[in-house]
Structure 1
Amino acid sequence: MTAFAYNAWYPLAWSRDIGREIVTRRVLEEDLAVYRTEEGVVAALEDACPHRLAPLSIGRLRGDAIECGYHGLTFDCSGQCVHAPGMPRVPESFRVRSYPTAESMGMVWVWMGDPEKADRSQVFHLPQYDDPAYSVVEGDALLVQANYLSLADNLCDPTHVVYVHQTTLASAGREETRVQHERQGNKVVTWRWVIDGPLIPIFEGLKDFGGNVDRWHYYHYHAPSIAVIDFGSARTGTGAPEGNRDDCIQMYACHFITPIDQRSCVQHWLCLKNSPADPAIDERLRSNLRMAFQEDKRMLEAIQRNEDKPREWHRIHLGLDGSSIKMRRIVEEMAAGNG
């Protein structure tokens, strides 16, 4: 069983999906009732009335408070009960847990651990998101019926691309290209370069390099649940490996993972690209990325089904597993120290 790190900011939902209707989200096996206040701030409360455990998410909003749909107990954004039918004075002990929230990069984030340790300045934000040289292609909230660390393994691993994503992200003949990795605090960086090769299918039509390219893949995994993949291409021989990327295609594929429970997670994804927004190009890119992530989903869910079967099995490790081993060690350290 996976031990969760609670003192961390987790993606909760797309900002676009949270409004003045109560919705429910599950994070780290805990159910939350989520909504916006009249001023637009996101509130997240434990989704269970302490009277008889009726879900607050099937209640109704009274201003900025939730009224339980069973007996009318009403809880404000802090989780304090402010009205209990038949009781002129509500005891202080009548309350539900409230979770700190923040918004960044079009996402609502939630702090599942000690609220005293919730530092909103530490919510993840990629500088390129605000850079006018980049445009944003917002994606989906993909339900994956697999443990979130299995998805994390995938997002620390450039080598699977050749086999899983042959029609979208890979080109043939590069199976043995060297992969490097290192730990940087609570982050693992994994990278590989492909020198003098063709454009990957997803980049075709975006820029004409007139021939082969040098392309890079840098996988930045911020434990416990954020992955940013910096990938791009430049005309071969123009110095991209040395840092000259003035004339290139560059994208950041951002993956914000919500662990639901031991066997499921949500993969929120978006893409930043160093070219202007274009409805036709953006929709093609979104469609291709959606296809690629469905390919991952199919593989990871099949793995989870096998993991759930009783069997005699001892995991073997390959050289390519180094970065995922580092990632899992960081998560174990965070979980052991509650963040």
Structure 2
Amino acid sequence: MTAYAYNAWYPLAWSRDIGREIVARRVLEEDLAVYRTEEGAVAALEDACPHRLAPLTIGRLQGNAIQCGYHGLTFDCSGRCVHAPGMPRVPESFRVRSFPTAESMGMVWVWMGDAEKADRSQVFRLPQYDDPAYSVVEGDALLVQANYLSLADNLCDPTHVVYVHQTTLASAGREETRVQHERQGNKVVTWRWVIDGPLIPIFEGLKDFGGNVDRWHYYHYHAPSIAVIDFGSARTGTGAPEGNRDDCIQMYACHFITPIDQRSCVQHWLCLKNSPADPVIDERLRSNLRMAFQEDKRMLEAIQRNEDKPRQWHRIHLGLDGSSIKMRRIVEEMAAE
């Protein structure tokens, strides 16, 4: 069973999906009732009234508080009960747990651990998100019926691309391209370069290089649940591997993973690109990325089904597993803390 690292910021939902209605979300096997206050802040409460455990998500909002739909107990954003029918004074012990939240990069984030350790300055934000040279293509909240660390393995692994994403992210003949990786604190970086090769399908039509390109793929995995893939292309021989990327296509695919339970997670994704927003190009890019992530989903869910079967087997490791092993070790360390 996977141990969870509780003292971390986890993606909860797209900001666009949280408003003045109570919605249910599940994170690290905890059920939450989530809504916006009248002032626009996001509240996240334990989704169970302490009277008879009626879900607060089937209650109603009373201003900034939730009224339980069973007997009318009402809880404010801090989780304190502010009204209990027939009781002129509500005991201090009448409360539900409240979870700290924050917003960044179009996402609502939630802190599932010790509330006093929640530091909103540490909520993830990629600098390019605020750079006017980049435009944002916001994606989906993809339900994946697999353990979130299986998805994390995938997002630490450039080598699967040539096999799983042949119509979107890969080009043939690059199976043996060298992959490098290193640990940087609670982050694992995995990278490889493809020198003098064709554009990948997803980049076709975005820029005419007049021939082959040098391509890079840098996978930045911030444990326990954030992956940012920096990938791009520049004309072959113009110095991209040495840092000259003045004339290039560059994108950042951001993956924010919400662990639901041991066998399911949500993959929130968006893409930043170093070109202006364009409705036609952006929709084509969104469609192609959606196709690629569905390919991952199909593979990961099939793996989970096999893992759930009773069988005797011994997992083998390949040289390409080094970054995934590092990532899982970091998550284990965070969980142990």
Interval of TM-score (by shorter of Structure 1 and Structure 2): over 0.9
SS in 1 for 2:4: coil
Q: Deviations over 1:247-279 (max 9, x none)?
A: 000000000000000000000000000000000
Q: CA deviation at 1:326?
A: 0.1
Query: How far apart in 1 are the matches of 2:310 and 2:326?
Result: 27
Query: How far apart in 2 are the matches of 1:91 and 1:124?
Result: 38
Query: How far apart in 2 are the matches of 1:128 and 1:24?
Result: 31
Aligned counterpart, 2:190? 190
Q: Deviations over 1:220-253 (max 9, x none)?
A: 0000000000000000000000000000000000
Q: CA deviation at 1:154?
A: 0.0
**Identity over aligned pairs, percent:** 96
Query: How far apart in 2 are the matches of 1:206 and 1:256?
Result: 26
Aligned counterpart, 1:217? 217
Query: How far apart in 1 are the matches of 2:334 and 2:192?
Result: 27
Query: How far apart in 2 are the matches of 1:5 and 1:237?
Result: 44
Q: CA deviation at 1:299?
A: 0.1
Q: CA deviation at 1:191?
A: 0.0
Aligned alpha-carbon RMSD (Å): 0.2
Query: How far apart in 2 are the matches of 1:21 and 1:194?
Result: 48
Q: CA deviation at 1:58?
A: 0.5
Q: CA deviation at 1:181?
A: 0.0
Q: Which portions of structure 1, spanning 4 or more consecutive aligned residues, are displaced by more than 3 angstroms?
A: none
SS in 1 for 2:90: coil
SS in 1 for 2:79: coil
Q: Deviations over 1:146-165 (max 9, x none)?
A: 00000000000000000000
Q: CA deviation at 1:82?
A: 0.2
Taking structure 2 as the reference length, the TM-score comes to: 1.00
Q: Deviations over 1:166-189 (max 9, x none)?
A: 000000000000000000000000
Q: CA deviation at 1:193?
A: 0.1
Query: How far apart in 1 are the matches of 2:316 and 2:193?
Result: 26
Aligned counterpart, 2:60? 60
- Residue 19 (str. 1) matches residue 5 (str. 2): no
SS in 2 for 1:322: helix
SS in 1 for 2:195: strand
SS in 2 for 1:229: strand
Q: CA deviation at 1:33?
A: 0.1
Q: CA deviation at 1:292?
A: 0.1
Query: How far apart in 2 are the matches of 1:157 and 1:3?
Result: 22
Number of equivalent positions:
336
Q: Deviations over 1:184-220 (max 9, x none)?
A: 0000000000000000000000000000000000000
Taking structure 1 as the reference length, the TM-score comes to: 0.99
Q: Deviations over 1:83-112 (max 9, x none)?
A: 000000000000000000000000000000
Query: How far apart in 1 are the matches of 2:175 and 2:234?
Result: 20
Q: Deviations over 1:7-30 (max 9, x none)?
A: 000000000000000001000000
Q: Mind listing any 5+ residue stretches in structure 1 that lack a counterpart?
A: none
Query: How far apart in 2 are the matches of 1:158 and 1:224?
Result: 19
